[in-house]
Amino acid sequence: MEVYLQGILVAIKGTPITIGVSLFSVIIGAAVGLGLALLKKSEKKVLSIIAKIYIEIVRGTPMIVQALIMAYGIPYLLQQNGIMFKWPHLIIPAMIVCGLNSAAYMAEVIRGGIQAVDPGQVEAAQSLGMSKSQVNRLIVLPQAFRIVIPSFGNEFVTLIKETAVLSFVGVVEILRSAQLWNASTFETFPAYIGAAIVYLMLTYPLSKGVAALEKRMAKEDL
Amino acid sequence: MIKATNIHKHFNDLHAVKGVDITVNDGEVLCIIGPSGSGKSTLLRCLNMLETPDSGTIEIDGVQLTENNLREMRTKMAMVFQNFNLFSHLSVLENITVAPVNVKGVEKVQADKKAMELLKLVGLEDKANAYPRNLSGGQKQRVAIARALAMDPDILLFDEPTSALDPEMVGEVLDVMKKLAEEGMTMLVVTHEMGFAREVADDIIFMADGEIVERGTAEQIFEHPSHERTQSFLKKVL
Ligand SMILES: Nc1ncnc2c1ncn2[C@@H]1O[C@H](COP(=O)(O)OP(=O)(O)OP(=O)(O)O)[C@@H](O)[C@H]1O
Ligand SMILES: [Mg+2]
């Protein structure tokens, strides 16, 4: 029994990294996702095409491949060209890749949120003389943001699980902690079951929390 | 004074507004009546370019509306919508101040003070911190009127302001509009409320099929309509 407890404790050591990477990724994802959503909405064709291409590339390639390119490929390329570059910590490319991945997804979510805002309110704002950017900043985005907050929460939960692939890049998050312990003790089952339990301890209460938030917001509004 | 000349608007093959001329003088209350689908809303929305007219000109006090002065011109003709269109994430007070502060650059303190005066005018000073979702339809529309007035517009445009209301709330909104009319506000009102039009309007326009059929005083339109279409419309609604 004790060995299982130990497996859980080892996995727990990886949680700050898992949570940290996931949290930063959500923030990067929301910010870049907002930019992408606005680009996509833009009347300038070029801008909306750029956003579309970005989203296609990110969605069409596995995150692990993107992570390997970012963590090792890019430093290699730079070094080949005589630029001494090394990530100060692998967590940085990890967060960038997860965040940029998230952004592609969040762009769609935010676009949906923007579309869900009552067009009558947009007209009212225009009729009061607001410019396009004022309408966005003062009327549309604050409401769209409220609408998408639960999706941000769900994305955070998803990222906690998805960041497991970063173990292959060498970021010592939950799964990597378990792998390293397994390598030195050969307690294979306790190691991985410990990781699974820790993931569940994180995702279960979080997704319940998001569901509760969603319910409360639905009640408060409409 | 607002003056629109030869306004045309198509929706694909549908010719919704067919070369309408309309002038509203300062202090005048002009009501537009007419059957559903006759182009009343479209005409009103063309005036502040919520619909872009295919052709025609719009002037306020002799200044022609163009793409470049559109935003400034819009502040001079505030609109009240059938469905209120209050900003649901903002309090009543913020609904009223958001445009003066951000569009006209009015100081927040000043805007708040003015908003409270306007809320008093529409009888809702106790609702300043409420949110639209907690108001009745009639209260929402009165806030929407206060929001429009906060811009100090030269003219108020109303598109069926009482059509979405429960019958018992129509009166409270019409009362506010009557008060504004008495105070000399210039108003262009699309309405199905014939009683209101008869009582308050200086002039009434009857529209059908995208055209102005006739314009006259309440007396002329209601008692001696000169067109057969006006007569048959009035027979149906009165
Ligand atoms: N955005 C639009 N796209 C296509 N057709 C439209 C649009 N807006 C209005 N129309 C059409 O234009 C015509 C005039 O509509 P409008 O809403 O101006 O009439 P109305 O006189 O305001 O009617 P109601 O009394 O029902 O409000 C109608 O046939 C309507 O279906
Ligand atoms: Mg209409």
| CA distances for A168 relative to A67, A113, B130, angstroms | 9, 35, 53
Put simply, the answer to whether B102 touches A130 (Cβ < 8 Å) is: yes
Q: What's the pLDDT tens digit per position in B64-110?
A: 999 999 999 999 999 999 999 999 999 999 999 999 999 999 999 99
Q: List all residues of chain B from 32 to 71 with a beta carbon under 8 Å from chain A.
A: 48, 50, 71
Ligand 1 atom closest to Cα of residue B39 = 18
Residue from A118, A127, A140 whose CB has the most chain B CBs within 10 Å, to mutate:
A127
Counting ligand 1 atoms within 8 A of each CB, the residue from B14, B45, B163 with the most, and so the one to mutate, is B14
Contact A150, A220 (CB under 8 A): no
User: pLDDT tens track of chain A, all 222 residues?
Assistant: 899 999 999 999 999 999 999 999 999 999 999 999 999 988 899 999 999 999 999 999 999 999 999 999 999 999 999 999 999 999 999 999 999 999 999 999 999 999 999 999 999 999 999 999 999 999 999 999 999 999 999 999 999 999 999 999 989 999 999 999 999 999 999 999 999 999 999 999 999 999 999 898 888 765
Distance B37 CA to ligand 1 centre (A): 5
Residue with tokens 């007209």: A123
Residue list, ligand 1 pocket, CB within 6 Å: B 11, 14, 16, 34, 36-42
pLDDT > 70: percent of chain A = 99
Put simply, the answer to whether B78 touches A128 (Cβ < 8 Å) is: yes
Contact A58, A101 (CB under 8 A): yes
Q: Which of A125, A128, A142 sits opposite B75 (nearest CB)?
A: A128
Kindly report the number of other CB atoms within 10 A of residue B127's CB atom. Answer: 19
Kindly report the number of other CB atoms within 10 A of residue A148's CB atom. Answer: 24
Establish if B74 touches chain A: CB-CB under 8 angstroms.
yes
Counting ligand 1 atoms within 8 A of each CB, the residue from B40, B42, B50, B229 with the most, and so the one to mutate, is B42
Measured between CA atoms, the residue of chain B closest to residue A123 is B50
Establish if A43 touches chain B: CB-CB under 8 angstroms.
no
Q: Residue A221's pLDDT is what?
A: 65
Smallest Cα distance from B121 to chain A, Å: 20
Establish if B116 touches chain A: CB-CB under 8 angstroms.
no
Closest CA to B232 of B205, B215, B208, B203: B208
Question: What three-state secondary structure class fits B120?
Answer: helix
Q: List all residues of chain A from 145 to 174 with a beta carbon under 8 Å from chain B.
A: 146
Distance CA B75, CA B150 (A): 10
Establish if A118 touches chain B: CB-CB under 8 angstroms.
yes
Kindly report the number of other CB atoms within 10 A of residue B56's CB atom. Answer: 17
Question: What three-state secondary structure class fits B10?
Answer: strand
Ligand nearest to the CA of B210: 1
Question: What three-state secondary structure class fits B236?
Answer: helix
Establish if B142 touches chain A: CB-CB under 8 angstroms.
no
CATH architecture of A2-221: Orthogonal Bundle (1.10)
Q: Which two tokens stand for residue B106?
A: 């009015």
Distance CA B114, CA B162 (A): 25
Measured between CA atoms, the residue of chain A closest to residue B82 is A120
Q: What's the pLDDT tens digit per position in A120-156?
A: 999 999 999 999 999 999 999 999 999 999 999 999 9
Ligand nearest to the CA of B158: 2
Structural domain spans, chain A? 2-221
With contacts defined as CB-CB under 8 Å, which chain A residues touch B69?
Answer: none
Name every residue whose Cβ is closer than 8 Å to that of residue A168 and which is 6 or more positions away in sequence. Answer: A64, A67, A68
ipTM of the complex: 0.95
Distance A123 CA to ligand 2 centre (A): 15
User: pLDDT tens track of chain B, all 238 residues?
Assistant: 999 999 999 999 999 999 999 999 999 999 999 999 999 999 999 999 999 999 999 999 999 999 999 999 999 999 999 999 999 999 999 999 999 999 999 999 999 999 999 999 999 999 999 999 999 999 999 999 999 999 999 999 999 999 999 999 999 999 999 999 999 999 999 999 999 999 999 999 999 999 999 999 999 999 999 999 999 999 998 8
Closest CA to A118 of B124, B89, B156: B89
Name every residue whose Cβ is closer than 8 Å to that of residue B32 and which is 6 or more positions away in sequence. Answer: B40, B43, B44, B188, B189, B190, B191, B204, B205, B207
Distance B153 CA to ligand 2 centre (A): 22
**Beta pairing partners, B7:** B20
With contacts defined as CB-CB under 8 Å, which chain B residues touch A143?
Answer: 88-89
